[in-house]
Structure 1
Amino acid sequence: MVPSILFEIMLIGLLGIGAQWAAWRYRIPAIVVMSVTGLLVGPILGFINPEEDFGNLYNPIISVAVAIILFEGSLNLNFKELRGLGKPVFRISTIGAFIAWILGSLTAHYIAGLSWPVAFVIGGLFIVTGPTVIMPLLRQSKLKPRPAKILKWEGIIVDPIGALLAVFAFEIIAYLTAENPNGAALVLFFVGSVFAGIFGWLCGRGIGWMFETGHIPEFLKSPAVFVVVILCFTIPDEFMHETGLLSVTAMGITLANMGISSVADMRHFKENVSILLISAIFIMLTASLKMDTLLQIFSPNIIGYVLLMMFAVRPLSIFLSTIKTDLSLNEKALVGWIAPRGIVALTVSSYFASILTDAGYEDASILTTLTFGLVIFTVIAHGFSIRGLAKKLHLSMEGRPGTLIVGSNPFTVELAKSLRKARVPIIIVDSSWEKLRYARKEGVPFYHGEMLSEQTEYNLDTIPYEYIIAATDFHSYNALVCTTFMPEYGRTNVFKISPFRQIDSSSSDIVSKIGGRILFKEKMALDDLNEKINNGYIFRQTTITQQYSYKQYVEEKDDATVFLYVIKPSGQIRFYAEDTKAIPGAGDIIVSLTPPNKEIKKIQAKLENQRSNGTNNGTKE
């Protein structure tokens, strides 16, 4: 056991983030690594048991964390995303959820051996997927926009619906089995659900109005939202258990669709907090399990139940609910397979296990085992299969990471052509149709629109592109583009052309310290690059080998050469930036902007060599 609660909190955070890093480093599903880590330090090795150690604080900590995670996920649910997807999402979240409830309940009764009341409670709960498991999978799988949006919307919307279905089933059971049935409890449930939805909407509108009118200063916006989220969850949940999830979801969707600019800034911050919470909560939940629970998972009735839920109930509910929609067969197959269960299923099932057992349903004692069996099997199966299945169904954005270039001019067009020659997906974005003539003339893919506008966000598919280069004539705008997209793409993948040539020294300090990394050379401004293109500079590829080292290449190159990027043997692109320290090795291809005189010299040397050979041949004759 750990020496103190403080040490245990530190250990949980360290293990959670460590698991996330290991998953990123070795390309393993994060939820799998977190689950295994929690099992190792908990029931297997016995280092920690958060449920016992935290005592009465354990459940409130889990509940508040789930509320924040669900709210952060719902902040991404803008109705504009539903263009062309409204019907499938609505069908899956309503008809599909109902079919999954009925089929899941039948499976729980006939296969898992649960009584009808317990089966219908757990059948309602198990329709959930949720952002805690769906979001990490979507980050790693690189799905095409349509299936990714469907899975995201379903996961966040159905999360509170599943919890409410479980509560509804329990209330129905309590009503039907009572000696003196009283419909007041059922009425209270519906009133509580309606109240939760309205309360969440009011919280969203209220905090949004205060943001828009300036009643909350910038430095208090994120703390204020956190407090309101906890308020929004707690008040309805005290009134009717599990309605708090519906309330925070309604609040998040309301804020997401109010068009408030500061919500985007908060979204990035809350996404970071959610990753921390997901990591910690997964460690806590899995570490709190008992060894008996783990061993019971492998009983035939639980394995049979889990397999039917994965291979029959889920696919049937998706295929039946999406009849006469525009979803392709491949999209139905992928969505019908991917349904990992996560934190909400684990936390709510433990709650119902206790109250159903107290109500006299002895078979409810296996609910925790059944839930964890479904969670662990779906997390592993779906986590490891989503990428391969998406690729086979042609629903993944496979291939080399692409580059999105903001600004159309002679240099960026030639850069795009060189990247396309290296089979790298590229696109040039510019709001000026006149400047896009360079891209149109050379046949380079382009998008006409303002990169920072909301319309572009929904019309331009940015999934294939992992790098952004801001290279317009306005250096402040370049910095703004980089600052905007840095939270999404990461600092190492966002670049701007050096501004130092065209702006004065006082503003150069400001622009250089915000936005992305300065591309190529620090003193190589966009005007310099365009001038080189106009003077006939060419893009040249040079392969580094064991015989021709990088050091030799640097010694022989022309002083006017500009290093642009390196193509690794794996196909990855590494752009030269102000802080680039890595030295290319054997097998790497360096792409540079080379003076034309070097090519002329090479041609002259070749001609002289041919003449020399011809002279020697003539002498021999």
Structure 2
Amino acid sequence: MVESLLLVLMLVVVLGIASQWMAWKFQLPAIVVMSIAGLLVGPIFGVMNPAEDFGDLFRPMVSIAVAIILFEGSLNLNIKEIRGLGKPVFRIVTWGAFLAWILGSLTAYFVADLSWAVSFVIGGIFIVTGPTVILPLLRQSKLKSTPAKILKWEGIIVDPFGALIAVFAFETILFLTGDGHDASALLLFLAASVFAVVLGYFFAKLIGWLLEIGHIPEYLKSPAVFTAVVACFTIADEIKHETGLLAVTAMGMTFANMGISSLKEMRHFKENISMLLLSSVFILLTSSLTTNTLLDVFRPEIIGYVLLMLFVVRPLSIFISTINSGLSIREKLLVGWIAPRGIVALTVASYFASVLQDEGFRGASIVTSLTFALVFATVCVHGFSIGWLAKKLNLSAEGKPGALIVGSNRFSIALAKVMEELEIPILVVDNSWDRLYKARRAGIKHTHCEILSEQTDYTIDFTPYDYLISATEYDSYNALVCSTFVAEFGRNNVYQLSKQNLSGDQIHEIDHALGGRELFSPKYGLEELKYKQKGGYVFRKTQITSQYTFQQYMKDREEETVLLFILRKSKQIAFFTKNGDITAAPGDTIVSFTPPSKEFHKIQEKLEKKREDDETKKS
């Protein structure tokens, strides 16, 4: 057992981030990797037990972390996003949640052999999925827009209500059993819930107003919002336990729909903080479990309960609640299957386990084991199956990584056409309808919008596209587009054409952190490429084999050939860049922009061969 508290804290953070990296590297569900890491250092090998190490600080630490994660998730809930999806989303977060509560409670009573009191409390807790588990899965699985948005909205909105339903069930049971409680406790709970929503709304409006009128300097904006979230959660939770989550959700949703100009920068800050907290909290919770909790997981009644929750309760609640909602059978099947439980379920259940045991209710002793069994089973089963099932139901945007090209011009359309021939998903975006004429005439998929507009998030589904290429005639605009979408695509996947410096604005002197990676060669900006295209340059695709190697290709190519990109055998794209050094392996395809002379010689050779063949036939 580690004795140093500082060392325990270091292990928690390192294991959390290492688990996230491993999940990314090997394409595994991050929640599964974190859970396994926590179990290994906790109950299995006994390296640490954070619940004991941190003592009274453990629960407040976890609670505030969950509040920040939930707030960050609710910042993504802009009402504009669910245009056309309002009906199924509303049905699922209301009737669907209610059905899941009732069916889950009945299952707990009849299958897991819990008392009615315990059954209805954990039935409320288990309606949650939450951003801690749903958002990482959606990030990895690349679902199509409709099921992805439904699962995201359900996870974030229902998350605080699971805790509230558990509190409501508990207070109702105490009232019905007599036990010194009267109706005033229920009224206090309802009043505290309403107060939490109002408090979250007030905090969002106040902080938003201070941000917009400039009363908070730029460097303090994110820390101020961070502090407000902690304060909002704490005030509500001190008044009535578990209403804090409702308060921060209301605060986040209000923020998301206020149109605050600096919201995107704050969202990036919160995403980074949330990633660190999410990773750490999962390690904290799983490593604090006991060996007895793990052994109880294998009890027949717990296994039976988990199976029914997976295969009956969740699908049934979704199918019934979405009747005549406009969702297809395939979408209902996917949404009805995916319901991983996460941090909120673990933290709230651990709180109620001790409270229910103190009240002497039957079955309270196995609540923690039951919760962990459901959490671990759902994150594993749903984490590993979401991608496979989405592909089977044709609800996945998986395939060859696509490219989003900003700017419609002669060269960008020709580049898009070549990529389309290689079956690479392509979308050309331009704010000029006239310039998009070239895309329309070439039959290239296109969208007429301003890529930097806030509306872009709701008009373009970015899921199929892994790369962004800004290819307009304005270097500064290209740099701005790439800088804006670094968080969306990753710094290694945003590109712009080489700077032209034709306007005398000295753009080559701007901060190296701004803009994207420069494509192809410093010698070839957009004007040079269009000039070459007009002069007869053509796009060529060359297959690399074990006989015709990359080295041989580089030796054979003409000096003026512009190397564009390599389509790997694995379907990934590797672009030639200003500072890049890439090579092709057998099975890869090199796409280049080739001088007309080589093409002319090839045509001449074909004509000569045809003439020789004709003469041979005559003779």
TM-score by length of 2: 0.98
- For 1:165, the equivalent position in structure 2 comes to 165
| CA distance in 2: counterparts of 1:501 and 1:79, whole angstroms | 42
Contact 1:565 1:573 in 2 (8 A): yes
- Note the C-alpha offset of 1:222: 0.7
Contact 2:430 2:448 in 1 (8 A): yes
- Note the C-alpha offset of 1:614: 8.1
| CA distance in 2: counterparts of 1:99 and 1:316, whole angstroms | 8
User: Within 5 A, what are the aligned runs for 1:533-548?
Assistant: 533-548=533-548
- For 1:257, the equivalent position in structure 2 comes to 257
Query: Amino acid of the residue matched to residue 210 of structure 1?
Result: L
| CA distance in 2: counterparts of 1:612 and 1:322, whole angstroms | 70
SS of alignment partner, residue 532 of structure 1: helix
Contact 1:501 1:523 in 2 (8 A): no
Structure 1's 538 and 512: CA in aligned 2 closer, same or farther, altered over 3 A? farther
Tell me, yes or no, if structure 1 residue 13 matches structure 2 residue 6. Answer: no
| CA distance in 2: counterparts of 1:339 and 1:288, whole angstroms | 24
SS of alignment partner, residue 462 of structure 2: coil
Tell me, yes or no, if structure 1 residue 415 matches structure 2 residue 412. Answer: no
Deviations 1:143-197 (A, max 9, x none): 1111000000000000100000000011111111224542111111011000000
Tell me, yes or no, if structure 1 residue 314 matches structure 2 residue 347. Answer: no
Which range is displaced more, 467-476 or 512-521? 512-521
- For 1:138, the equivalent position in structure 2 comes to 138
| CA distance in 2: counterparts of 1:38 and 1:423, whole angstroms | 42
- Note the C-alpha offset of 1:582: 2.4
| CA distance in 1: counterparts of 2:512 and 2:10, whole angstroms | 37
Contact 2:576 2:582 in 1 (8 A): no
Contact 2:66 2:343 in 1 (8 A): yes
User: Within 5 A, what are the aligned runs for 1:584-599?
Assistant: 584-599=584-599
| CA distance in 2: counterparts of 1:374 and 1:407, whole angstroms | 49
- Note the C-alpha offset of 1:607: 4.3
- For 1:270, the equivalent position in structure 2 comes to 270
- Note the C-alpha offset of 1:608: 4.8
- For 1:406, the equivalent position in structure 2 comes to 406
Query: Amino acid of the residue matched to residue 79 of structure 1?
Result: I
Query: Amino acid of the residue matched to residue 40 of structure 1?
Result: L
- Note the C-alpha offset of 1:505: 6.9
Tell me, yes or no, if structure 1 residue 526 matches structure 2 residue 526. Answer: yes
SS of alignment partner, residue 166 of structure 1: helix
| CA distance in 2: counterparts of 1:359 and 1:181, whole angstroms | 13
- Note the C-alpha offset of 1:609: 5.5
| CA distance in 1: counterparts of 2:615 and 2:312, whole angstroms | 81
Structure 1 gaps of 5+ residues are none
| CA distance in 1: counterparts of 2:46 and 2:189, whole angstroms | 40
User: Within 5 A, what are the aligned runs for 1:16-95?
Assistant: 16-95=16-95
Query: Amino acid of the residue matched to residue 317 of structure 1?
Result: S
User: Within 5 A, what are the aligned runs for 1:186-585?
Assistant: 186-504=186-504, 506-510=506-510, 513-585=513-585
Deviations 1:324-359 (A, max 9, x none): 110111111111110000000000001001111111
SS of alignment partner, residue 127 of structure 1: coil
- Note the C-alpha offset of 1:456: 2.5
- For 1:129, the equivalent position in structure 2 comes to 129
Query: Amino acid of the residue matched to residue 536 of structure 2?
Result: G
| CA distance in 1: counterparts of 2:617 and 2:372, whole angstroms | 83
Which range is displaced more, 451-460 or 245-254? 451-460
TM-score by length of 1: 0.97
SS of alignment partner, residue 363 of structure 2: helix
Contact 1:479 1:511 in 2 (8 A): no
Contact 2:105 2:123 in 1 (8 A): yes
- Note the C-alpha offset of 1:501: 3.9
Query: Amino acid of the residue matched to residue 520 of structure 2?
Result: F
Contact 2:475 2:501 in 1 (8 A): no
Query: Amino acid of the residue matched to residue 389 of structure 2?
Result: L
Contact 1:93 1:158 in 2 (8 A): yes
| CA distance in 1: counterparts of 2:213 and 2:275, whole angstroms | 31
Contact 1:476 1:511 in 2 (8 A): no
SS of alignment partner, residue 156 of structure 1: helix
- Note the C-alpha offset of 1:266: 1.1
Cα RMSD, aligned residues only: 1.6
| CA distance in 2: counterparts of 1:324 and 1:506, whole angstroms | 59
| CA distance in 1: counterparts of 2:363 and 2:440, whole angstroms | 69
Structure 1's 391 and 611: CA in aligned 2 closer, same or farther, altered over 3 A? closer
Deviations 1:47-78 (A, max 9, x none): 11111111111111100100000000000000
SS of alignment partner, residue 504 of structure 1: coil
| CA distance in 1: counterparts of 2:597 and 2:437, whole angstroms | 29
Contact 1:144 1:396 in 2 (8 A): yes
User: Within 5 A, what are the aligned runs for 1:101-116?
Assistant: 101-116=101-116
| CA distance in 2: counterparts of 1:48 and 1:187, whole angstroms | 42
Query: Amino acid of the residue matched to residue 443 of structure 2?
Result: G
| CA distance in 1: counterparts of 2:141 and 2:108, whole angstroms | 31
| CA distance in 2: counterparts of 1:342 and 1:226, whole angstroms | 23
- The count of aligned residue pairs is 619
Query: Amino acid of the residue matched to residue 341 of structure 2?
Result: R
Identity of aligned residues (%): 60
Query: Amino acid of the residue matched to residue 298 of structure 2?
Result: F
| CA distance in 1: counterparts of 2:45 and 2:350, whole angstroms | 23
Query: Amino acid of the residue matched to residue 165 of structure 2?
Result: L
